[in-house]
Amino acid sequence: MPKIFLTGATGYIGGAVLARILEHPLQHLSEITVIVRSAEKASLFNRTFGKKHNLNAVVGSYSDLALLRELAADADVVFACADADDLPAAKAILSGMRDKYSANGTPPVLIHTSGTGVLSDDADGMRASSTIYSDLDIPQLETLPSTQPHRDVDLTLVEADSQGYVKTYIVLPSTIYGFASGPLVENGLQNWRSQQIPRLVNVSLQRGQGGMVGKGKNWWGNVHIDDVAKLYITLFDLLDNPSPPSNFTHGRAGFYFAENGEHTLYSVGEAIAKLLSNMGKGSPAPTTFSASEIRQYFPAGTSLGSNSRCHAERGRQVGWRPSRTTHDMLQSVGAEVEESLSR
């Protein structure tokens, strides 16, 4: 089993992936290094998982480029689960992997976290898009401009793969939902809550009414956090398969969407609005965020009005089997409202 370096260990995605690695039947044969910002959390990681799971937590961040390069150079497999848009950090990790390749002549593996935000448009909630991207249709994906979210980092990884010193696999989750669970959550080490739906819930609670951008006609894919983590491990397990499926590819074709259904943003706003209405807050139909509310609640901008439609065909063809559906996503809104109210 390889040496593993994982970033984002305390995050929603990275923590869920790490939890699965710790549960892997052959995990005891691996060496795992994680990088965390807090010395306190690094100490807790090492006390809790160090000896039992051969894990070493190092204090640092994505701004510590020399450290990223050093840790990547010592790894056979890197799981990059932190900031999908940090190009300097991605380049530092790639530099370390080039060092690894120079040392032993075997290309290491980078499993990188991007997102289907790369597919987003400017619908502003006013229209649905008929364009649905497939991760098997590489020419279609290559029509995406480099100015799209995450795209500059993704293209940098693909170029590195083409040079032969690294094998890159890019995972692109859609709207992730559900509460993460497992040993990291139980020990207070991991963020266990998503972003998009909780953000909508919190804003709706503040304004006293379920809301949406525009008319909420835009569509996004969705996927449960457990199914996302399952995709990473599916790819990881295939690395040592002597006869992998034909669509288990890396580099130019190494894009893996994560979705198991799709929804309109109206449906999410409606689910929130109905719950709040039952509590005596607002009407059961969502209303449009005003321009002033957009500025107030989303000062850095928001993709909640965009379309981001895709089919996760490549992952399914290599063995990924997601189980949670759009119905589960809409049902999860109730727990999100309860959690926000409890805070």
Residue 16's pLDDT is 98
**Burial profile 6-22: b = 16 or more Cβ within 10 angstroms, e = fewer:** bbbbbbbbbbbbbbbbb
81: left (phi over 0), alpha (psi -120 to 50) or beta: alpha
Q: Where are the domains of the chain?
A: 3-267+297-342
Q: 218: which 2 tokens?
A: 């835009």
Residuewise pLDDT in 10s, the chain (343 residues): 799 999 999 999 999 999 999 999 988 778 999 999 999 999 999 999 999 999 999 999 999 999 999 999 999 999 999 999 999 999 999 999 999 999 999 999 999 999 999 999 999 999 999 999 999 999 999 999 999 999 999 999 999 999 999 999 999 999 999 999 999 999 999 999 999 999 999 999 999 999 999 999 999 999 999 999 999 999 999 999 999 999 999 999 999 999 999 999 999 999 999 999 999 999 999 999 999 999 999 998 999 999 999 999 999 999 999 999 999 999 999 999 999 999 8
Q: Please report the pLDDT score of residue 29 as a whole number.
A: 79
End-to-end CA separation in angstroms for the chain: 42
| Ramachandran sector of residue 11 (left: φ over 0; alpha: ψ -120 to 50; beta: rest) | beta
- Residue 63's CB: how many other CB atoms inside 10 A? 12
Q: Where are the beta strands (DSSP E) in the chain?
A: 3-7, 31-36, 55-59, 77-80, 109-113, 133-134, 167-173, 175-177, 211-212, 219-224, 255-258, 262-264, 287-288, 310-311
pLDDT at residue 41 in the model: 97
Written as one letter, the residue type at 264 is: T
- Locus of tokens 């901008």: 301
* Domain 3-267+297-342 architecture: 3-Layer(aba) Sandwich (3.40)
Cα-flanking dihedrals φ and ψ of residue 57, to 5°? -100, 130
**Residue of 176, 175, 179 lying closest to 190 (CA atoms):** 179
- What's the pLDDT at 28? 78
